[in-house]
Structure formats: structure tokens, C-alpha cells
Amino acid sequence: MYRNPILAGILASVGVLLSVVSIPAGFTKCFPFQHTINVIAGVMLGPFWAVSAAFATSLIRNMLGTGSLFAFPGSMFGALFVGLAANFLPNKHKIVAAVAEPFGTGIIGAWVSSLIIGPIIGKNIGFAFLSFSFLISSIPGACIGAIILYYLKKRDIIGKKDISIF
């Protein structure tokens, strides 16, 4: 009953701790470990708790000054799409849901950012620029997340009765 919110909080905390590793790209700060956490949370927790963890990470990163407003749509849509994809995939293929992270972040998140966040901060930022910026952190981050899930499953750390993702 309490496993999902606790794991979401732990993953959000790890995301905040790893936020010191970011790559400035124009108006955004590329943070590949957020996408790693999105993949892990989306597959293990589902869309609601994955989006909750992404929101908490983005909020705390913004309060600490290690994030930008683009962190919200850039992370939350990736987490949502991974969680939704994982819900529709059979257990042994859930790791493939990692492919949905770059789509959610690099396409949908960039589109929302260019339409909403850009005008909020008073900048006219093109979709193509944001999409490229988001994808250069989303693709490696999603790959790292898939690798971590693979090794967690291989070592039987996950996949038991309580945490069955494959």
C-alpha cells in the first residue's frame, strides 16, 4: 500500500541529488539522470507515481536553482509516456517502455514547452530547438534507465512478487 509513494519519493530524492550533473543547452539545462529516473519510475510504479516523482524532482531542482521551468514538461511527459507504455506491454517486455521516454520528452514535452513555458518567461523559443535540447539528454538517460532495469532484473533485485516488472 505504501510502497509506491515511498519508492517515488526515493527516486525523486535521487533525481535531486544527481541534479548537479547537468549540461547547459540554451535556455534549458539538460539532465540525463531525470530521464533515467523516469524510465525506472514509469516501469516500476506506473504513470501516476512516475509523474509525481518527476514533478517533485523538478520542483525541488527549481527551488535549489539547479533546474529551469522547462524541467516540468521536459520530465513529466517522459515519465507519463513510459508509465503508459509499461501498462500496455506484457511483463517480459516492459523494458521496451524506455523507448517512450524520448518521445514524451523530446516531442510532447518540447511542444508544450514552446507553447506555454516560452511565453511565460518572455522568450520565443522554437519547437525544433527545444526538441533537440531535450532529446540530447533524454535518449542517453532512457538508455541508462533501461540498462539499470535490465541489471536489476538479472540480479533478482526486482521481479519478485512485490515488484514484478518483467
pLDDT digits (tens, 9 = 90+) for 2-22: 789 999 999 999 999 998 887
pLDDT at 56: 97
pLDDT on residue 28: 65
- Domain of residue 51 covers 3-154
The whole-number pLDDT of residue 1 equals 61
> Is 164 within the bounds of a domain?
no
The number of distinct structural domains making up the chain is 1
Task: Please indicate, yes or no, if residue 123 is contained in any of the structural domains.
Answer: yes
- pTM summary value: 0.89
Cβ atoms of residues 164 and 91 within 8 Å: yes
> Is 10 within the bounds of a domain?
yes
Identify the pLDDT of residue 162.
41
25 assigned to some structural domain = yes
Average pLDDT per consecutive 10 residues, the chain (166 residues; last block may be shorter):
89 93 71 94 95 96 87 94 94 91 95 87 84 91 95 78 44
Instruction: Give the CATH number for residue 133.
Output: 1.10.1760.20
Q: Is residue 149 part of a domain?
A: yes
- Find out whether 150 and 40 touch, Cβ atoms under 8 Å: no
Answer whether residue 39 is part of any domain: yes
pLDDT the model gives residue 26? 67
pLDDT for position 157: 75
SS3 readout for the chain: CCHHHHHHHHHHHHHHHHHHCCEEECCEEECHHHHHHHHHHHHHHCHHHHHHHHHHHHHHHHHHCCCCCCHHHHHHHHHHHHHHHHHHCCHHHHHHHHHHHHHHHHHHHHHHHHHHHHHHHCCCCCHHHHHHHHHHHHHHHHHHHHHHHHHHHHCCCCCCCCCCCC
50 in a structural domain: yes
In a domain, 160, yes or no: no
